[in-house]
Structure 1
Amino acid sequence: MKRELLFFKPIARKTVWGGTTVKEYFHYPDMEDGVGQAWAFADQPGGLSNECLTPSLSGMTLHEIWDNYPEVFNSRYEKFPFIISLVGPEDDLSIQLHPDTASAKHYGFNSGKDEAWYFLEASNSSLIYGHHAENQASLVERLQHRDFDGLFRRIPAHKDDFVYLPAGIIHALGKNNVVYEIQQATDLTWRIYDYERVDNEGQHRELHLSQALDVLNHVTDESIAQAISRVVANEHTGDGYTFNTYRTESVFSVARLRCHGQGNISKEGYWLCTVTEGSGIFNGERISCGDNFIVSAECQSMTFSGDFIVMITTETR
């Protein structure tokens, strides 16, 4: 199993802002319409744990592999620490934020929820990051009075943007984006505003203003500039590939491997990999867009060839 790639079946998640983007972009023809995101890697309550497709472990869940084959991960965590999601909204997501560790523990979770986005596609689209209130007191007052007009800071989105979203930051993903999303495994979101939408039963989704006010962080122009990267980050170039790592201050590390020929690369720890473009060969196995696979922590060097892009998440070391 040392060099074997462990492929996993994505978990489809239907949403009020979903459609057909995810299944079309990532080549998941069996997915229903209305899916807004697919969890590439997750181990959440209610049996939401990805199924392994690799013959040697076929049918085992990520949860079972985590428990029975710890050498694959060599992790410092007791539970699988991330949710990796492939997101294709056809309507704007709710304006929201995520809890810090203290707040999350109050609700029975082990950690807060930092998040990051890498924009695979962005067509006349945007994101919300922060607000235009003069200070924290003004922000709280406007939120309490539901004075949302012109409050949230909307920023144009571009292909290859990387956005880091620490807990407590007001944010929202706009429609017409395709995003590779990294989250800590605390599946907890505080909605502030949801455009007065209703679900299939005609009900408004729950808002969580009081909880949000407890963890709300004020942002400055400087902090926004630091959080949104529109330049190639920490680039390393080798024969047949470029490798970029992206800045976060969280427990996860994010990278992009772009192969344009053939090459080899070394690593530490396990890699959670999603092919977001093209196809090729990786450690002797064929990969193509939409594939999600783990490279074991035991495998310290990889060989590859082809023309593809792989997004990679691993634990910060």
Structure 2
Amino acid sequence: MILKLQPVFYDKIWGGNKLRKNYGFDVSNTCGECWGITAHKKGSSIIENSIYKGMTLRDIFFNEKHLFGDYKGNEFPILVKIIDAKQDLSIQVHPNDEFVKGENILGKEECWYILHTEKNTKIIIGHSANNIKEVKEAINNNNIESICNTRKIEEDDFFYIESGTIHAICEGTTLLEVQQSSDITYRFFDYNRLENGKPRKLHIEKAIKALKIPDKKMLVEHKDTFFNFQIKYNIGTMNKIASLFGDYIFIIDGEGYFNNTRVIKGNFIMVTSQSQYIIEGNIKYQLTTF
């Protein structure tokens, strides 16, 4: 079964207009995040077709387990989103599962696939500090950026962000993020920005505890710890069978059909557990499985 998913959108202080301009979504000029495939309690995709039309992905995850191959986890494990950064995001870190054990939430590992960049766009991944003393000195000097590793990026670049890795998406970047289904973030620095007249909350103590030290290696290969990430190209007609827990798909470019369901650039779909399906058309898409 092919389930077409309606995303959930979030305006952000750093958001822009690329979600509307590049993908045709009816959103504001400050929309920063499009949660395309999500069953998170803070925001869940809505089914647009089939007998489940109008239900949330969270609803069917808990009530129609057979569609997910009777997955045994307590929560739907992934979240697939588009991020549009008109401004720099905060310099931050995500904890691992062990760090948040007992809080009834998941830690957060994620990966980035670069969809669009402006000229000379960069990202921050990792740091050069040798020990916790150097990290604290940079923070106390209000200069955390001095220890951050930066890298210029281009479209189609891929990066894997392990939990415990300091990182930031920077101005001019639009990317696809696949992550554990978690909304936990510890901020080191937010450029002294105001939101609703107040500085956004920082989480220095927790961020330091969650940070990997040292952490000089930038991961550009996917380790397949929590999910599998693939970029696929379809030309013509292709027969497929979904994985045990389902196939989760974002249409990067092109148009066509998954069985009888028409898809275009920007669509998100789920193919239910071990369903046979036919892809028709010239389509570039991203596939997540777990």
Q: Secondary structure at the match of 1:66?
A: helix
**CA drift at 1:260:** 2.4
1:251 to 216, 226, 234: 226
Distance 1:41 1:68 in 2: 17
Aligned amino acid, residue 247 of structure 2: W
- 4+ residue runs of structure 1 moved beyond 3 angstroms? 134-137
Whole-Å separation in 2 of the counterparts to 1:219 and 1:278: 42
Matched, 1:51 2:46: yes
Q: CA deviation at 1:215?
A: 1.1
Q: CA deviation at 1:220?
A: 4.7
Encode CA deviations 1:79-114: one digit per residue, 9 max, x unaligned: 1112211111111111000012222224x2343111
2:223 corresponds to which letter in structure 1?
T
In the TM superposition, residue 188 of structure 1 has moved relative to its aligned partner by: 0.6
**Percent of paired sites with the same residue:** 26
Could you say if the C-alpha distance between residues 80 and 170 of structure 1 is closer, same or farther in structure 2, counting changes exceeding 3 Å? Answer: same
Q: Does 1:190 align with 2:169?
A: no
Shift of 1:159: 1.0
- Distance in 2, matches of 1:207 and 1:296, equals 40
Q: Which residue of 1 aligns with 2:256?
A: 280
User: In the alignment, is residue 6 of structure 1 matched against residue 3 of structure 2?
Assistant: yes
**Alpha-carbon separation, structure 2, partners of 1:58 and 1:205:** 38
* Superposed displacement of residue 145, structure 1: 4.1
Q: How many residue pairs are counted as aligned between the two chains?
A: 287
Q: TM-score, normalised by structure 2?
A: 0.93
Equivalent residue letter for 2:9: A
Write the distance in 2 (CA, Å) between the matches of 1:109 and 1:249.
Answer: 23
| 1:272–1:295 CA contact under 8 A, matched in 2 | yes
Whole-angstrom CA distance in 1 between matches of 2:30 and 2:223: 31
**Matches of residues 144-293 of structure 1 in structure 2 within 5 Å?**
144-199=140-195, 201-221=196-216, 223-224=217-218, 227-229=219-221, 247-269=222-244, 270-293=246-269
The TM-score normalised by the length of structure 1 is 0.85
Q: Determine if contact 1:71/1:298 at 8 Å carries over to the other structure.
A: no
Matching residue's letter, 2:288: T
Flag structure 2 segments of 5+ consecutive residues without an equivalent: none
SS of 1:25's partner is helix
- Secondary structure class of the residue paired with 2:6: coil
Partners of 1:67 and 1:220 in 2: CA distance: 38
Cα RMSD (Å) of the superposition?
1.7
For 2:125 and 2:72, locate their aligned partners in 1 and report how far apart those are by CA, in whole Å: 31
CA distance in 2, matches of 1:71, 1:314: 16
Task: Measure the CA separation in 1 of the matches of 2:47 and 2:142.
Answer: 45
Once the two structures are TM-superposed, the CA of residue 153 in structure 1 deviates from its matched residue by 1.2
Deviation at 1:304, TM superposition (A): 1.4
Q: Does 1:95 align with 2:91?
A: yes
Q: What whole-Å deviation, never above 9, does each CA across 1:40-95 have from its counterpart, x for those lacking one?
A: 0222334x221110142111111111122111111231211122111111111110
Equivalent-residue separation in structure 2 for 1:284 and 1:291 (angstroms): 15
**Mapping of 1:22-61 within 5 angstroms?**
22-28=19-25, 30-46=26-42, 48-61=43-56
Q: Whole-Å Cα distance in 2 between the matches of residues 21 and 79 of structure 1?
A: 30
Q: Which runs of 5+ in 1 are unaligned?
A: 230-246
1:205 deviation in Å?
0.5
- What residue is the counterpart of 1:82 in the other structure? 78
Alpha-carbon contact 2:129-2:213 (below 8 Å) kept = no
| TM superposition shift of 1:312 | 1.4
- Out of 260, 263, 280, the position equivalent to 1:305 is 280
